[in-house]
Amino acid sequence: MGARYKVLVVDDSALMRKYLRQMLETQEDFEVYTARDGEDALRRIQEVDPDVVSLDINMPVMDGLTCLSHIMTESPRPVVMVSSLTEKGALATFEALELGAVDYLAKPDGTVSLQIKDQADELIRKVRAALGAKRRPRRSSGERVHPPPERLRKPLAAPEPAERAPEGLVLIGVSTGGPRTLEEILPDLPADFPLPALVAQHMPGHFTRVFAERLDRRCALRVKEIRGPSLLEAGTVWIARGDADVVLSRRRKGLVALGVPADERCLWHPSVDRMVRSALEHVPADRLIAVELTGMGDDGAEAMAEVHRRGGRTVAESEDTAVVFGMPKELIERGGADKVLPCHRIARQLVQWAYEGSGTAEAAKG
């Protein structure tokens, strides 16, 4: 018999503990334990030393965020948060990811979710991904930069080319570990970054608006969620709406991003693959910069490899910093990555490419 992994399920609802336990116990290599609140969880961690923890956010006695802070300080290990699909739940989830949680599962209908059993496959995928995830140290307070009011900050000095690059677009695909990774990269782009950026982050629809607003407060660039047809302008990062996909279209005023119903043929949404392939239909490949960040699976890898083959520029996050080295690894193995970089060096590379004035792919890759 192979290795067995201990999973601790923490939830104040006996019914939720039962459901989550039953879902996880379908896996022969999972040994599942439970705890009823944060205090009980800390005791159980000392007793059974779980490999991964599933942690509810809203609990009496000690809530999930307080428990998480204790876990990360006293006995760090992978944690998957379980939160409600509400604005409050989204805010708490992003705080948990900032504290060090690997991922989250959103309850579809409130604190006690009778529909949670429909998410068994997703829960199992996330727990398995968490088992192999790495913890990335946060930047020190001296390294982390928060933009002052009026978006005056220019964290990375822009080169001074004779002319700026022609019309282009940055495409970013990311999944597990993505919120923290994007918060490492996007705030380091200057306010006058000359290209628009489009981000497909696998995330529920109730979360992407809150995430865009959170990034907007931290970035020199404007960050917005795609709600209707959105003109792609320099100085703006567009976050694809969760539980849907994003495609591009040419309008009289220019290139527009559109939210469209999720394609059921794609496993993850917003689909990175669909976003990149749509961009290739409307923008010359040598004007595209495609970035594949942390995440399980292979969403976007083949499409970004096609960008590379057609003369575009591509970056894969390196294994050193990727929380889950799935999506970037797939791009690298397809021979589609011009650069393989840790997340803290990606913004600098984007600035370099964006400001190169020749407009030729060969010069840009040099």
Residue with tokens 């970056």: 315
CA separation, residue 180 to residues 20, 115, 186, 282, 297 (Å)? 26, 28, 10, 30, 18
Among the listed residues 40, 54, 83, 202, the single catalytic one is: 202
Using CA atoms, how far residue 313 sits from 190, 261, 289, in Å, is 20, 28, 5
Look up 299 and say whether it is catalytic.
yes
Strand partners, 35: 10
User: One of 299, 308, 318, 338 is an active-site residue; which one?
Assistant: 299
Which of the residues 54, 175, 271, 278 is marked catalytic? 175
CA angle 26, 97, 90 (to 5 degrees): 85
- The β-bridge partners of 339 are 315
Within 10 A of 141 (CB to CB), how many other CB atoms are there? Answer: 6
Instruction: Determine the 3-state secondary structure of 339 from DSSP.
Output: strand
Residue with tokens 């991904």: 129
Rounded to whole angstroms, the Cα distance separating 277 from 279 reads: 5
Active site residue 318: no
User: Which residues are catalytic, by number?
Assistant: 175, 202, 299
